[in-house]
């Protein structure tokens, strides 16, 4: 092939590229969908984690929903009150004050308290262990498996396995719900940051069956329910649960619990299990 032919081919390709680029640019301008400038402004103040904890597909999805009036300005659980205030300024509305929510693991069956049914040699993931006999090696079929699938799912390093059970550092938690969605046992729930007393058990069996597998499980004795002065504690399906909206943090339930399964919040950063 001659040099002239190569030069001509290069020129033709270059010209075609310019022409195509020109038409694409014109088409892009004519066909582009106009967006509310407030969406871009809101995206600029959102954390950018795209965790989905708000219930929308990423920060851009939430921004569009806020502008459309489909979501409140404080919908982002990661940004909390500071981000809600900034979004409120953009939207020209006041952000409602709301308490920070944090994840809580409803299990106290650590390596000393929960019995082991057999030695497990499979994949060290809760989401995999749930398919083996008994739903995992722990004798309690309701308790934390302790393999840390929730730890891997947390984008904020706020949950760690400590002595065989997952524990949340509430100061690092952003309530994105990733751990809640991941836990195969459904042991994790959101509670107010300031909540002092919570029930660390999810075993729905009756007293003796609970004691056969865990020395600290809730036995459904109802002493907490009977002695709570604010009617905040109720035993449902043999396990106690505290209504945080009614709880006055008097501590009566914790003092009356014979199994000491009603405990206060973890306030100090947690050491990661090796």
Residue 179 tokens read as 């751990």
Residue 162 has φ and ψ, to the nearest 5°, of: -120, 115
Per residue in 189-244, pLDDT tens?
999 999 999 999 999 999 999 999 999 999 999 999 999 999 999 999 999 999 99
Dihedral angle computed from the Cα positions of residues 260, 214, 244 and 88, in that order, rounded to the nearest 10 degrees: 130
Per residue in 44-93, pLDDT tens?
999 888 887 787 888 988 899 888 888 888 888 888 888 888 998 988 88
- Crossing angle of helices 37-45 and 58-67, in 10° steps, is 130
Mean pLDDT of the chain: 87
CATH for 101-263 is: 3.30.70.20
If one compares 168 and 5, the residue with the highest pLDDT of the two is 168
% of the chain beyond a pLDDT of 90: 50
Q: How far is CA 147 from CA 23, 134, 136, 160, 267, in A?
A: 56, 15, 10, 10, 23
CA distance linking residue 31 with residue 49, whole number of Å? 30
> Per-residue pLDDT averaged across 147-158, rounded?
93
- Does the model's pTM come out above 0.75? no
Longest dimension (CA), the chain: 98
Residue pair 159/173 in contact (Cβ under 8 Å)? The answer is yes
Helices (H), 32-116: 37-45, 58-67, 80-91
Residue ranges per structural domain of the chain: 37-91, 101-263
Per residue in 93-148, pLDDT tens?
887 767 788 999 999 999 999 999 998 888 889 989 888 888 889 999 999 999 99
* pLDDT at 271 (0 to 100): 44
Sign of the CA dihedral running 58, 245, 249, 164? negative
* pLDDT at 139 (0 to 100): 94
CA distance linking residue 87 with residue 68, whole number of Å? 13
Burial of residue 64, with CB atoms counted within 10 A of its CB: 0-12 exposed, 13-18 middle, 19 or more buried? buried
Residue pair 114/214 in contact (Cβ under 8 Å)? The answer is yes
Q: Which residues of 182-195 are buried (b: 16+ CB within 10 A; e: fewer)?
A: bbbbebbbbbbeeb
CATH superfamily label, 37-91: Electron transport complex subunit B, putative Fe-S cluster (1.10.15.40)
* pLDDT at 34 (0 to 100): 66
């Amino acid at each position: 092939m001659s040099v002239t032919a190569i030069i001509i081919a290069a020129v033709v390709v270059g010209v075609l590229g310019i022409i195509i680029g020109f038409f694409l640019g014109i088409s892009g301008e004519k066909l582009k969908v106009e967006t509310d400038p407030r969406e871009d402004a809101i995206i600029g103040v959102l954390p950018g984690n795209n965790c989905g904890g708000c219930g929308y597909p990423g920060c851009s999805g939430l921004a569009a929903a806020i502008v459309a009036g489909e979501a409140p300005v404080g919908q982002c659980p990661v940004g909390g009150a500071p981000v809600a205030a900034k979004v409120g300024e953009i939207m020209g509305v006041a952000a409602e004050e709301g308490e920070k929510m944090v994840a809580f693991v409803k299990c106290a069956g650590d390596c000393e308290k929960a019995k082991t049914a057999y030695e497990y040699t499979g994949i060290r993931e809760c989401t995999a262990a749930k398919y083996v006999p008994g739903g995992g090696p722990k004798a309690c079929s309701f308790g934390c498996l302790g393999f840390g699938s929730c730890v891997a799912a947390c984008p904020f390093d706020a949950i760690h396995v400590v002595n065989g059970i997952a524990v949340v550092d509430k100061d690092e938690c952003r309530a994105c719900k990733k751990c809640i969605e991941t836990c195969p046992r459904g042991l994790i729930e959101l509670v107010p940051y300031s909540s002092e007393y919570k029930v660390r058990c999810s075993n729905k069996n009756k007293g003796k069956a609970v004691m056969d597998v865990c020395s600290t499980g809730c036995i459904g004795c109802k002493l907490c329910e009977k002695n709570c002065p604010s009617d905040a504690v109720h035993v449902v399906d043999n396990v106690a649960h505290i209504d945080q909206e009614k709880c006055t943090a008097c501590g009566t339930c914790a003092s009356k619990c014979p199994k000491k399964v009603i405990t206060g919040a973890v306030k100090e950063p947690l050491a990661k299990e090796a």
